[in-house]
Structure 1
Amino acid sequence: MRPKTSQALTSKVLLLGVFIAFLFLFVLRSSISSSKENPTSAPVLQTFAVKTSNNAIEEAEAKSTNCSPSCNKIPRPLAQALLHYTTSTITPQQTLKEISVTAKVLEKKSPCNFLVFGLGHDSFMWSALNYGGRTVFLEEDEAWIEQIKRRFPTLESYHVKYDSKVNQAENLMDVGKGPECTAIGDPKYSMCELALKSLPNEIYETKWDLIMVDAPTGYYEEAPGRMTAIYTAGMMARNREEGETDVFVHDVNRVVEDKFSSAFLCQGYMKKQVGRLRRFTIPSHRDGLDKPFCPE
């Protein structure tokens, strides 16, 4: 048998344990009831996260609502060019590789001033690639200008009359070697027979960043040929006050385009040839009139 003192102690310990357990259950129950009655006792971080998420959604919706009608649209000229070329069965005369040569230069320089000898099926493309700049087309056929204007009224084009013929090319090459043709100056007032002098005044007054010679017609003996266009493009580049001009000549597989671009745009200024297209980069000669016509 255990002594009576030991039994009494055991009873006291047992009663104390039951009391503590009861007290713990009471406190726990009170805490749960308080949490249910007072929602603000939820964790602050969770509440903040929910509010932040809701605010973000509201701000996004507000931005979408306040956006102007045109903020997510491509410019109209680019949209028109896209529609035209995706629905047309007529493709530009230049190949993709040839077009890419000029397009890469435009990517760096546009918006800029771009002068194109020739108005054709690729004109809308050149204007779109120079979006925000000024692209001007010079064309020999007045009827063709009117036809293109009806389809693309935003294109800026002017009629040009050429007095030369392909069968005169050899004689004009000899003329171009004379001192009156190598003197730097405004082509409009040049004494050189190769210079185009009847273009609109603004053509001479504008500082052209790019010039494309893809006209006039030059594939038969009585055609105007591109002798004067190539020469005038080179003189415009040399006569600008400062900087340099990229000049492109297409159809260099033909005799006139090959010889005249080499002679008057200069082999030393040629940067690249891809297919039938050559690119020349001609610096201003106004800041150094002692520069040779072509680099040595």
Structure 2
Amino acid sequence: MRTKTYPTFNVKLLLLGIFLALVVIFVFRSSSDSSPASSNEKSPISGKEAVDDHEKSTSCESTMTCNKIPTSLAKALIHYTTSTITPQQTLKEISVTSKVLDKKSPCNFLVFGLGHDSLMWTSLNHGGRTIFLEEDESWIEQIRRRFPTLESYHVTYDSKVNEANSLMDVGKGPECTAVGDPRYSVCQLALKGLPSEVYEIKWDLIMVDAPTGYHDEAPGRMSAIYTAGMMARNKEGGETDVFVHDVNRDVEDKFSKAFLCEGYMKKQEGRLRHFNIPSHKDSSNRPFCPE
């Protein structure tokens, strides 16, 4: 999620638009809550009325303080407008996920990968829980020093890109299409060493933008894509929105279609695919992929 950079203008324009919209909402609420009723008639003010007016004024001031833009969002806005390094996703790609977040946040958002866009995702899910899974421990430490509020965990991937074809065959077996908790799965594709809370939380959104995956000896995204799909199917009720980035690459293209299912795909924008996967726990007869 951090190896590539793109022109800053479009991404900054999106971020500015989002945060300015938030500012307008907060200001509007503050103004509407604090505006006193107007009157053309003047009348004497008793002591009690004066006290009431003072309490109303204090209440208005308190309301205005509560409705100002949160500090975390302000910091994110300042960071992205002053940084020369921006997220590698394009404006249109980011917009696909941000529209879903706009409807569902605050929510639970799991992201495979920790990068220059992590602060943005956390800010767009303000008030929710966003967790990042990263393969590079040194990179985690760098990001933690800059953004200590981000919640991230180190993850080890056993498979490599050059094993993708054999793992695709493995994934077609009954042990991999049976819905269940990935940590107890006997499927070779399932990630079993993730932090316990990753398995226990009901995720509303999952983004697969890691591991590296761009050369044959690099960790591939086969297991991350499979596990994201299985978490969505194993969820107690509801649907999970799953996003896969870099679908221009062979692994991301084939594995997202096979294990997140073309029938569940809602949209593709550039190199990003959006899938909406329903729970399979409440319907034992539901096929792994829709027919």
TM-score by length of 1: 0.80
The change in CA–CA distance for 1:48 and 1:132 in structure 2 (over 3 A counts) is closer
CA distance in 2, matches of 1:217, 1:98: 19
Distance 1:185 1:217 in 2: 27
For the pair 1:145 / 2:140, whether they are aligned, the reply is: yes
Contact 1:81 1:128 in 2 (8 A): yes
Q: 1:169 to 1:73 in 2, by over 3 A?
A: same
* 1:272 and 1:280 in contact (8 A); partners too: yes
Q: Does the 8 A contact of 1:139 with 1:145 survive in 2?
A: yes
Deviations 1:235-283 (A, max 9, x none): 0000011001000000000000000000000000000000000000000
Tell me which amino acid in the other structure corresponds to 1:183: A
1:244 corresponds in structure 2 to 239
Deviation at 1:192, TM superposition (A): 0.4
Alignment length, in residue pairs? 248
Does 2:226 correspond to 1:226?
Answer: no
Deviating above 6 A after TM superposition, structure 1's stretches of 4 or more consecutive aligned residues are none
Amino acid at match of 2:42: V
For each residue in 1:178-234, what CA deviation from the matched residue of structure 2 results, as whole angstroms up to 9, or x when unmatched?
Answer: 000000000000000000000011100110000000000011111101000000000
| RMSD between aligned residues | 2.2
Question: What runs of 5+ residues in structure 2 fail to find an aligned partner?
Answer: 1-38
Does residue 1:49 correspond to 2:47, yes or no?
no
Q: Larger C-alpha radius of gyration, 1 or 2? A: 1
Among 264, 267, 286, which residue is 1:269 paired with? 264
Report the equivalent of 1:67.
61
Q: Which residue of 1 aligns with 2:32?
A: none
Q: Please state if 1:279 is matched with 2:271.
A: no
Name the structure 2 match of 1:293: 288
State the one-letter code of the partner of 2:241: D
CA contact (8 A) 1:184 1:289 kept: no
Q: CA shift at 1:80, angstroms?
A: 1.0
2:61 maps to amino acid = C
Q: Spell out the pairing of 1:97-136 with structure 2 (5 A cutoff).
A: 97-136=92-131
Superposed CA deviations along residues 45-93 of structure 1, whole A, max 9, x for unmatched, are: xx962349xx9xx959962686238324211110110111011000101
Which blocks of at least 5 consecutive residues in structure 1 are unaligned? 1-46
Question: 1:59-98 to 2 correspondence within 5 Å?
Answer: 59=53, 63=57, 67-68=61-62, 70-98=65-93
Which secondary structure does the structure 1 equivalent of 2:274 belong to? Answer: strand
3-state SS of 1:70 partner: helix
The secondary structure found in structure 2 opposite 1:49 is coil
- 2 CA distance for matches of 1:51 and 1:90? 61
Q: Call closer, same or farther: CA 1:67–1:265 in 2, change over 3 Å.
A: same
| Residue of 165, 173, 177 corresponding to 2:172 | 177
- Deviation digits for residues 135-183 of structure 1 (CA, Å, limit 9, x no counterpart): 0000000000000000000000000000000000000000000000000
Q: Deviation string for 1:111-137 (max 9, x for gaps)?
A: 000000000000000000000000000
Q: Work out which of the residue numbers 186, 208, 213 in structure 2 matches 1:213.
A: 208
Is the contact between residue 218 and residue 226 of structure 1 (CA under 8 Å) also seen in structure 2? yes
Cα distance in 2 for residues equivalent to 1:94 and 1:225? 19
Q: 1:16-27 residue pairs with structure 2 within 5 A? A: none
Q: Is the 8 A contact 1:246 1:281 kept in 2?
A: yes
Cα distance in 1 for residues equivalent to 2:118 and 2:40: 58
Distance 1:89 1:60 in 2: 48
The verdict on how the C-alpha distance between 1:70 and 1:163 changes in structure 2, with shifts beyond 3 A counting, is same
2:157 is equivalent to residue 162 of structure 1? yes
Q: SS where residue 215 of structure 1 aligns?
A: coil
Q: Distance in 1 between matches of 2:125 and 2:108?
A: 8
Percent identity reads 76
Q: Report the equivalent of 1:9.
A: none
Which is bigger in relative contact order (C-alpha 8 A, separation at least 6)?
2
For normalisation by structure 2, the TM-score amounts to 0.81
